Structure 1
């Protein structure tokens, strides 16, 4: 590095630490300039030579939204690899492509909004595909690996700056910007915070993005947890970027604040540093910030703090040191290494759920490959554009030979006849050839939203035979014979003009609604029905056409014919990531869509030697039946088909593991908005039923034995070691998993809890030693009686196996912890949210800035239990409750009780008052509270 000249400002001096350089730059910026820095699109400061900058480059499983890029398996598929080192390499490849693309396209930013570390608590969540696992430790291990790959290995400069999504307790799309996740302290610390904390503490995270929802009645974008928890986990500056439009939601949909100035100030004070609002236009955000400053709701010092955090990221990305930035000349893009890595990741993500000896398939097997996803390589909302493409059909053609593979999609082929007897028709035009590339593939850039193609018409003689697929819940797609989907453009006309369903609002989905002796065809993107007009077929709010559905061929009939003529049938079922489960839309059921269930039934009836391959973003509940083999893979990116064919052929032994529980039916699921994983026994940690397939499950083409389990003290923890031997004839990966269970806990604890795992490769007959170092803090739980972590003394089972249910070896250790002590209610009273058990309760905000209260949910009645409360030998004489709203609180302990009722509603839900009543108690008792009406309880106190 060269010394700076006297005219070089200190912020340009590479010899100085970043903190001093940021101090200098901040001192040179005007208040107006700093205010502009708080919008997503930061303008250039030309007088200082500072370039424009923006937050936000999507990179969940490849560079998204910016055109062609390497597409890796979906995040849930990366989670299914259980392989942090592989995921680190995927993150590194994504970061290399971000850098390479950024060098030639200024729209590509280096602040990468990934990974998603929201836990997959509920499998009906529409964004299940974006997370890694239902377990916080597995999620953190995979997320940490991905962030290290994105960050790069240089000690000073970062290749990209990862932002974790979405803070906090976000697992529903239904009313996602107005619903509140009620998260009790134990769930907060032991579950939701844990995945974020471990990943931040690993040191490769630039910041977080708050989620749309509220937690305990308070929007995440004004959460005190940002400063009280997140920023205490690291000494680095953490940059907090809002989710799109969320700052405006504070006033517009959530009605949490009356004015934008209040909401904007509250967000900055809570720790928000960048407003992703109103697209590229910063005007409204700047106006609101200036208004908050003028009203005294915000100070320049608080603006400076937010700008400092942004500048910290920009300095680490090398923006102010172009000569010293080791990543400035990055050009790796769509390299052979990235293509090979995409295939490796797709192979490792495949989970063998069941195998009665049918797999792997012999080389001379005659295969019928059938199903709606058999010749598809589906993308999702956060995918890049495919450069390379491999479908299951293409992979099987390549591996087994086209002469041995027969394909039948299984769609229903239909005609739509109008009330006048004419048929819906897709016109042939001269421009059809123009939308195809050199190899005949449809060009999505030309097709999507085209208005120059002629709309559909009707013909009295012969219509167009359409491929109809019911994706579940009656949601249909209709496809022309040339592969183009019926879609609606901005002008409202129907055209065969889409290569795939997609977009923020999908314009390729329909619903047939019974009407008289036919059906109305509703377009779901606009909500209007299809109308036949003189100038073409369109959607309109009036005069809908009544269609007769003429079925030319049922898909199951074609599937049955193909299956009967094959040695083995491979059914490829699953979901389209843009339909019935995606961002903004939760699923309604675990069931396989009825159309696909019919195809599966037809295949296995015609040929019992049927393999089911589920390609999906989430788990399904499968009906029992004689299926000799079942595999699951998330949508596997550009190499999905090749990877699947290699696994079916035995070139690769499958070793993926389920990152979440597969339940038998919807009856096993809690309410989507019930976030109390402890109280309602959610995820493998607490679920007491029998799952269809358990967390961590996955089979292999070989067998493994476990032995030699040893547990030894190691520093402030335990070293757990054991041997693993490949006892079969096939080289394969194996995923040893270490779990624990408190034998006699003082509070409800997980039935089984993952402590550590690894993925390793063993040749036939090979044996290896595995060792895990487990800190004692891994056995702790959040003790609500003392408001901190505590290690319960006693016996703990250590369980080693191949899944949470398949335990091969075990032992028990005794740990010396800190015994439980009764709650000191004389000194501390009871914080309402620190209950041990509850029913019917919701946690809400005590004030708009901080604190929790408890109120009854929809039933209007809540029960709270606080165990082992010590009232002392001298006892207490009175109880005091701090309450707001209206209603009453009954306090019961031992044989005494008191009911305290608000005489009239308080002025606001945040206007608390104290009520007291006689309550004579001595000794240790459980305290039971009953809340009636819309009362908010913050605290219970006791006095002599």
Structure 2
């Protein structure tokens, strides 16, 4: 009987035909074509944290931390489905069997499920927060969405990252060693990855930069082979974080050269190198550091994945007909709005200030009110029609009722886009500048398109400003007037979103004020700033020229204005308003991955102070002095210590980095069209002083599970425009034998007059175990209840949700007395009901 062909046997047969040099080339992320074998070039690197990223227009969802604030597993699956659907559409547009460059493939390096253990970490925005169980369950559903329902034919492949124990600091990340305890390793840092593999069935995993106990993770066979493949049953492929193998030589000093580092990595279980270090595997085989069959095993896993993805036009693929009409479709935009709405967390609402009354005049202030970058966050696609908060409020309340002033910079020394209030077209005197768009690089002939751009803050990554232009070849000239609001010194700045790995010259940009060239860069300068003195408030002619002939991704015209001038503008905006809405927080310019920033409060993408930056704090205090209701909307990727706002603002809303529909979602919440139901996926601390050293990975003193202090706002917290009550807790049994399941339920009632969502949370307390966390989240459901509606909500807790971890890292269900709490947050922080039970016996659980 003929043997049935499978992706694994097909892959093995293909690999057997390759030369050693061809094999080595295919083990690197930028895998070249092998024409004689019919193998197309394929770059394995694609991103999709909150929308398919870095490959043109896509649906841009809230950043991952915002998605986590929804506490909605079904939503995460829908988002994952959208990400992979749009990835398939872009893949199909090129065609199966054709070369696919970086960001054009179906191997998506998401989600990031590292534990957000410290709010200072700039990349924490990419994660699902600080709790292992919440992170794991959201990851499982996102992975299901990415990969689809047919394991033999995944829509795309998900890659949970970065395995393991990786969450900053960004400085030194390429060579730091984590000496984490066995208890913390098992109880905090591994559970989400285990769930992603054993429940989510992710087909790929990314290993991290760091070392564990002296061994770089990408060369750690105990983790990548014993734990991942043997204990968890992983059958997919492992890819390194980018240049992690090279780091083993340069920064970890693990091996003397990349031939030996590469040999150690591939033998430990790292199949694919993001980078070029694996090029030295040719030398490694020749010198006997590694046997060629080890390469064959890794390649078979890689090519089996490509066969399952039907990369070569296999007719069995159910996704071959997905077209570009699916990219940022109306249905996907609707989902982006839903995701933004569900992510919003109401932290404070005194005196019923929210919802804002109909017909109110609203002063909109703050540096994040009209900034594209705080919608898109990092690792993002290009939003086709993004809605900023300012635009959303104008749409909802009416432009004549919204009074706008930027009011402050983001932080000391950090420029922000020049607002529309300081720009004016010369022809019509309207807000903004006149943009002339040319289909050439020298501004010759007539512009193809002309329009008024109210701010110069554009993301044009892999897209053109107009369909009539080529995405890789155009020039734009903006002209008009710059209006300094007061005399003083102004820093004018140009920001070009650089293609970080391009070797070619960057896009030239030039700025003229009053006919004088004040900034001129042909692609070499990274600090495009100049200081101009305005002796009065007369208008100044301004001209900005941008020539796009490379792979850079957009341009911004920014400034640092005198603080007093901006504060005075904010006060003027407030004067005729009934209420103030201040959009404050952070931005991807100050928190993120290895950023080149060193200003007060920020260093290298991480934070050194978790408080609100001083310029914004001053804005809030000055605005509040007017005595009108103050609503603070926090836009950030992490917790900010809003101590003053908690004490003095009337309402606080956390909107995160909310994606392309963020401004519309915020406006609907403020207007009361939508009742907020999000919950915090991280603890909001009061001060940086409350935190252990950033470099320490010990769990003690961190997150709600081990923090002994009083937080500003606790993990799981969030308010509503209605009120929910709990009653009648029930347990399937008050005494269990170790290894048995427990069913927990309670009645949840919406006692208010508004429909709303409640996030029902279940926490386990194990008071008999000194190593157990204060509380441990073991269940959650987001439920919608109409006004006055009641419902019994049930949870089935498995032994893995009822277990403890000892000092040696052994996980077991242990005998003792337990309590379970069901409520809208943690015990003691919100209403809920408690029940007690005991467990008899002892059962060790699998790793």
TM-score, shorter chain, exceeding 0.5 = yes
- From 434, 437, 445, give the equivalent of 1:434: 437
| Alignment of 1:403 onto 2:400 | yes
Shift of 1:43: 2.3
| Alignment of 1:727 onto 2:730 | no
Residues 242, 274 of structure 2: 8 Å contact kept: yes
SS at match of 2:681: coil
- From 720, 723, 732, give the equivalent of 1:712: 732
- From 365, 368, 371, give the equivalent of 2:366: 371
Larger radius of gyration: 1
Mean Cα deviation higher: 74-83 or 404-413: 404-413
Shift of 1:670: 1.1
What is aligned with 1:577?
Answer: 588
What is aligned with 1:675?
Answer: 697
1:615-634 pair list within 5 angstroms: 615-624=635-644, 625-634=647-656
Residues 690/477 of structure 1: CA separation in 2 closer, same or farther (3 Å cut): farther
Residues 507/706 of structure 1: CA separation in 2 closer, same or farther (3 Å cut): farther
C-alpha separation in 2, matches of 1:797 and 1:507? 57
- From 284, 306, 311, give the equivalent of 2:298: 306
1:83-94 pair list within 5 angstroms: 83-94=72-83
SS at match of 1:716: coil
Residues 700/98 of structure 1: CA separation in 2 closer, same or farther (3 Å cut): same
Shift of 1:704: 0.8
Residues 799/491 of structure 1: CA separation in 2 closer, same or farther (3 Å cut): closer
Shift of 1:550: 9.0
- From 808, 813, 827, give the equivalent of 2:832: 808
For residues 485-540 of structure 1, the C-alpha deviation after alignment (integer angstroms, 9 at most, x for no partner) is 5999969987489xxxxxx999468799xxxx9xxxxxxxxxxxxxxxxxxxxxxx
SS at match of 1:554: helix
SS at match of 1:305: helix
Residues 437, 475 of structure 2: 8 Å contact kept: no
1:625-644 pair list within 5 angstroms: 625-644=647-666
- From 281, 284, 306, give the equivalent of 1:292: 284
C-alpha separation in 1, matches of 2:451 and 2:355? 33
For residues 694-730 of structure 1, the C-alpha deviation after alignment (integer angstroms, 9 at most, x for no partner) is 0000000001111110111498210001111111000
- From 764, 774, 799, give the equivalent of 1:751: 774
Residues 739, 800 of structure 1: 8 Å contact kept: yes
Residues 7, 305 of structure 2: 8 Å contact kept: no
Residues 161, 207 of structure 2: 8 Å contact kept: yes
Shift of 1:36: 2.0
C-alpha separation in 2, matches of 1:354 and 1:264? 53
C-alpha separation in 2, matches of 1:552 and 1:800? 48
SS at match of 1:569: strand
Residues 437, 450 of structure 2: 8 Å contact kept: no
1:494-509 pair list within 5 angstroms: 495=511, 507=526
Residues 495/428 of structure 1: CA separation in 2 closer, same or farther (3 Å cut): farther
- From 779, 783, 793, give the equivalent of 1:760: 783
C-alpha separation in 2, matches of 1:291 and 1:647? 61
Unaligned runs of 5+ in 2: 95-99, 414-422, 428-432, 439-446, 466-470, 499-504, 514-522, 534-559, 596-604
Question: Greater relative contact order (Cα 8 A, min sep 6): structure 1 or 2?
Answer: 2
Shift of 1:734: 0.6
- From 121, 124, 127, give the equivalent of 1:131: 127
1:260-339 pair list within 5 angstroms: 260-278=258-276, 285-286=278-279, 288-320=280-312, 322-331=314-323, 332-339=326-333
C-alpha separation in 1, matches of 2:684 and 2:258? 44
Residues 506/583 of structure 1: CA separation in 2 closer, same or farther (3 Å cut): farther
For residues 144-183 of structure 1, the C-alpha deviation after alignment (integer angstroms, 9 at most, x for no partner) is 1111111012242000011111111111112111222221
C-alpha separation in 2, matches of 1:509 and 1:124? 28
Residues 207, 240 of structure 2: 8 Å contact kept: yes
1:686-705 pair list within 5 angstroms: 686-705=706-725
What is aligned with 2:502?
Answer: none
Residues 141, 200 of structure 2: 8 Å contact kept: no
What is aligned with 2:519?
Answer: none
Residues 197, 234 of structure 2: 8 Å contact kept: no
What is aligned with 1:600?
Answer: 620
- From 346, 361, 374, give the equivalent of 2:340: 346
Shift of 1:30: 3.3
Shift of 1:290: 1.1
C-alpha separation in 1, matches of 2:764 and 2:239? 37
Residues 185, 782 of structure 1: 8 Å contact kept: no
- From 61, 71, 77, give the equivalent of 2:66: 77
How many residues get paired? 735
C-alpha separation in 2, matches of 1:41 and 1:551? 48
Residues 177/506 of structure 1: CA separation in 2 closer, same or farther (3 Å cut): farther
C-alpha separation in 1, matches of 2:530 and 2:834? 54
What is aligned with 2:611?
Answer: 591
State TM-score, norm by structure 2. Answer: 0.81
1:448-463 pair list within 5 angstroms: none
SS at match of 1:734: strand
C-alpha separation in 2, matches of 1:191 and 1:158? 30
What is aligned with 2:634?
Answer: 614
Shift of 1:581: 4.3
C-alpha separation in 2, matches of 1:770 and 1:455? 58
Shift of 1:342: 0.4
Root-mean-square deviation over aligned CA pairs: 3.5
Residues 479, 485 of structure 1: 8 Å contact kept: no
For residues 847-883 of structure 1, the C-alpha deviation after alignment (integer angstroms, 9 at most, x for no partner) is xxxxxxxxxxxxxxxxxxxxxxxxxxxxxxxxxxxxx
Residues 183, 215 of structure 1: 8 Å contact kept: yes
Shift of 1:426: 14
For residues 8-64 of structure 1, the C-alpha deviation after alignment (integer angstroms, 9 at most, x for no partner) is xx8xxxx53333333333333333332222111222333332322221111111111
Residues 438/634 of structure 1: CA separation in 2 closer, same or farther (3 Å cut): farther
| Alignment of 1:563 onto 2:574 | yes
| Alignment of 1:147 onto 2:143 | yes
- From 182, 186, 193, give the equivalent of 1:196: 193
